[in-house]
């Protein structure tokens, strides 16, 4: 009996499933290939690492503090160093070209005359030069030779360029000054740029923002000022910032507000009991300014020496030369200024003086002629009284001991203006006084003569404070208090002597009370 044939419904099911799976796989493979072709990156996802590397900041120390940026190049620094070296000259009607060539060889520095600029101003390159000087820095010597010719020197392209004053004033440079340390308000996380900018504009020669002047811009995110100005004004800015940093070390607020208030109380108690003043939380400095050279210090000390003068209808030039020989200093007559004022350099002088200081003799000699003398470029510069008033310099006076915790600078400023000869800008023209509460100081721009008056006024105030007898005060509730007052304007140091000592700090000259 033969086996029965299977019906259609009984065909094996496995082969059909295999065929269906193969067809489905082929279709899926085709679709995957099309997708991979359309999106190639999606087919290769990045491999997962055990731990993704973290972004870290450099652990190196912060960059060294810079007073300004960009720093001087090696060539510029070499020129600056050369200008600080001692120099001397003895020229008698020498052509300017020969003078420049001699000084370039003498100082081993490349010097070039800007012939185009001189020709434009009508200044001959063979202009005769007569000058005899010794014991000065090359910078001062060049200024004394070139300024009367309306010329100046400026570094350019690795050389020292002799050009006109007008060209020097036209050439502006941009420097960035980190100043966050001078703008941070005590006790607050705030930077006060405006006060510092106003101070810099007031206490430097400028001009600023007046059509053709320099400009100053702050950037809080970097704590800096970007200043575009001439090299001369940049030097003034640098010296002023240095003086403020030196003053900051003598600011009683630098030791914190609470420390200052505690010190105020200890001083008041010491005054009431006539005791020696307590130790201050910081060392006090009397005045801060650009450092004087050895020649300038020698002139100051020489003017205090005694001398005798005897002149009978002697020409002014001979009188000045005799005075210089007696006290062994360089004295230069400002011929240009005297000519402008119609004062002849051979004006006859008659004067008899015996055993008088050089400073007093100079005053008696020059005042009748409407002349004055200032220390400038390491020499005693005899010029007109009007020209002397135009020569302003900036000095910084730490005064937090006079202000105390009252923070009243306006009263002290008004006292200084009323107690000195001025003139002051509040009178229409003259010098200026700007407070810097962050550094606890006043910055004064005035003539050297008035600066000496300002210093004396402040010293007198400190001397007066220690002599002021204690008194009682009335509190806000009008009840009498037994607590003695501190001296007015915050009190002083109650020094027992009036001696002073000069030193330097970060390139600035400081005078300390001792």
487 beta partners: none
Q: How far is 400 from 436, CA to CA, in rounded Å?
A: 10
pLDDT at 250: 78
Query: Backbone phi, then psi, for 157, in 5-degree steps?
Result: 50, 45
According to the 3-state scheme, what is the secondary structure of 452-473? HHHHHHHHHHHHHHHHCCCCEE
Of 189, 187, 313, 301, the residue nearest 253 (C-alpha): 187
pLDDT at 488: 35
The structural domains of the chain, with segments of one domain joined by +, span: 74-170, 175-291+392-513, 295-377
Terminal CA-CA length for the chain: 141
Buried b or exposed e, range 115-149, using 16+ CB within 10 angstroms: eebbeeeebeeeeebeeebebbbbbbbbbbbbeeb
Tokens of 25: 């796989």
Per the CB < 8 A criterion, the answer to whether 291 and 509 are in contact is yes
Q: 214: helix, coil or strand?
A: strand
Per-residue pLDDT of the chain (514 residues; tens, 9 = 90+): 444 444 444 444 445 444 455 555 555 555 555 445 444 544 454 454 444 444 444 445 556 788 999 999 999 999 999 999 999 999 999 999 999 999 999 999 999 999 999 999 999 999 999 999 999 999 999 999 999 999 999 999 889 999 999 999 999 999 999 999 899 887 777 889 999 999 999 999 989 986 678 999 999 989 999 999 999 999 999 999 999 998 888 777 666 667 767 766 776 666 666 666 666 666 667 788 887 888 899 998 999 999 999 999 999 999 999 999 998 999 999 999 999 999 999 999 999 999 999 999 999 999 999 999 999 999 999 999 989 888 999 999 999 888 866 678 999 999 999 999 989 987 778 899 999 988 889 999 999 889 999 999 998 888 776 665 554 444 444 443 443 333 333 333 222 233 445 566 666 666 554 4
pLDDT at 401: 81
Of 282, 279, 284, 286, the residue nearest 254 (C-alpha): 282
pLDDT at 9: 41
Please state which of the four CATH numbers 3.30.720.200, 3.40.50.300, 3.55.50.30, 1.10.1040.50 is assigned to the domain occupying 74-170. 3.55.50.30
Query: Backbone phi, then psi, for 214, in 5-degree steps?
Result: -80, 170
Mark residue 74 as left, alpha or beta (left: phi above 0; alpha: psi -120 to 50; beta: remaining).
Answer: alpha
- List of E strands, 273-407: 285-289, 306-315, 331-333, 348-357, 371-376, 379-384, 393-398
Query: Backbone phi, then psi, for 329, in 5-degree steps?
Result: -135, 165
H/E segment holding residue 119 = helix 115-120
Angle subtended at Cα 323 by Cα 317 and Cα 326, rounded to the nearest 5 degrees:
140
Q: What is the pTM of this model?
A: 0.74
According to the 3-state scheme, what is the secondary structure of 126-173? CCEEEEEEEEEEHHHHHHHHHHHHCEEEEEECCEEEEEEHHHHHHCCE
69: DSSP letter: B
Q: How far is 207 from 233, CA to CA, in rounded Å?
A: 9
């Amino acid at each position: 009996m033969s086996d029965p044939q299977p019906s259609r419904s009984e065909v094996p099911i496995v082969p059909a499933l295999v065929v269906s799976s193969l067809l489905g796989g082929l279709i899926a493979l085709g679709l995957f290939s099309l997708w991979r072709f359309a999106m190639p990156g999606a087919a290769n996802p990045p491999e997962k690492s055990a731990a993704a590397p973290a972004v870290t900041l450099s652990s190196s120390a912060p960059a060294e503090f810079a007073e300004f940026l960009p720093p001087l190049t090696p060539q510029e620094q070499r020129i600056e160093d050369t200008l600080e070296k001692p120099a001397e000259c003895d020229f008698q009607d020498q052509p300017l070209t020969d003078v420049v060539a001699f000084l370039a060889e003498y100082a081993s520095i490349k010097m070039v005359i800007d012939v185009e600029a001189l020709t434009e101003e009508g200044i001959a390159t063979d202009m005769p030069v007569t000058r005899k000087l010794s014991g000065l820095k090359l910078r001062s010597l060049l200024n004394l030779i070139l300024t009367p010719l309306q010329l100046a020197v400026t570094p350019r392209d690795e050389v020292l360029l002799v050009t006109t004053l007008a060209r020097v004033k036209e050439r502006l440079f941009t420097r960035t000054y980190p100043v966050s340390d001078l703008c941070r308000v005590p006790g607050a996380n705030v930077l006060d740029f405006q006060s510092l900018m106003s101070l810099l504009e007031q206490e430097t020669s400028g001009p600023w923002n007046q059509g053709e002047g320099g400009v100053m811009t702050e950037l809080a995110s970097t704590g800096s000022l970007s200043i575009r100005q001439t090299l001369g004004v940049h030097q003034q800015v640098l010296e002023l910032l240095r003086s403020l940093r030196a003053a900051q070390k003598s600011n009683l607020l630098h030791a914190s507000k609470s420390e200052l208030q505690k010190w105020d109380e200890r001083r008041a108690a010491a005054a009431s009991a006539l005791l020696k003043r307590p130790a201050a939380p910081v060392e006090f400095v009397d005045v801060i300014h650009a450092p004087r050279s050895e020649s300038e210090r020698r002139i100051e000390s020489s003017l205090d020496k005694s001398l005798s003068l005897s002149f009978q209808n002697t020409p002014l030039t001979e009188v000045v030369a005799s005075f210089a020989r007696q006290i062994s200093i360089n004295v230069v007559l400002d011929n240009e200024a005297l000519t402008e004022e119609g004062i002849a350099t051979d004006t006859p002088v008659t004067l008899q003086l015996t055993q008088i200081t050089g400073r007093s003799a100079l005053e008696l000699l020059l005042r009748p002629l409407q002349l004055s003398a200032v220390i400038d470029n390491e020499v005693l510069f005899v010029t007109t009284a009007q020209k002397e008033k135009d020569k302003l310099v900036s000095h910084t006076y730490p005064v937090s001991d006079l202000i105390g915790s009252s923070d009243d600078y306006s009263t002290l400023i008004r006292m200084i203006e009323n107690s000195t000869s001025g003139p002051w800008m509040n009178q229409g023209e003259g010098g200026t006084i700007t407070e810097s509460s962050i550094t606890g100081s006043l910055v004064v721009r005035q003539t050297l003569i008035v600066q000496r008056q300002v210093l004396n006024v402040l010293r007198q105030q400190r001397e007066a404070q220690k002599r002021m007898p204690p008194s009682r005060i009335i509190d806000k509730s009008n009840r009498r208090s037994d607590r003695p007052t501190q001296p007015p304007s915050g009190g002083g140091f109650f020094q027992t002597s009036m001696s002073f000592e000069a030193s330097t700090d970060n390139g600035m000259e400081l005078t300390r009370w001792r």
